[in-house]
Amino acid sequence: MKPSIIAILLIVIGAAMLAYEGFTYTTREKAIDLGPIQVTAEKQHYVYLPPVLGGVLLIGGVLMLLRSKGN
């Protein structure tokens, strides 16, 4: 891949990580399993995305883009 494509990808991912500091997703787990009777429960999980990492990706992408335009 070209460095400019990677740089733009880093900028987009970094900006998204700064805008959204995390996301949640839901899984289903068996709560009770008594032969033919089964009860499931939905459990929410949260994934934290540190804003510092988003800033580093954003700045790194900008620097990469500027460097690739200079050559």
pLDDT given for residue 71 in this prediction: 65
Token pair, residue 56, equals 């580093």
DSSP codes, 17-71: HHH--EEEEEEEEEEEEETTEEEEEEEEEEEE--HHHHHHHHHHHHHHHHHHHH-
Task: Write down the pLDDT at residue 53.
Answer: 93
pLDDT at 69 over 80: no
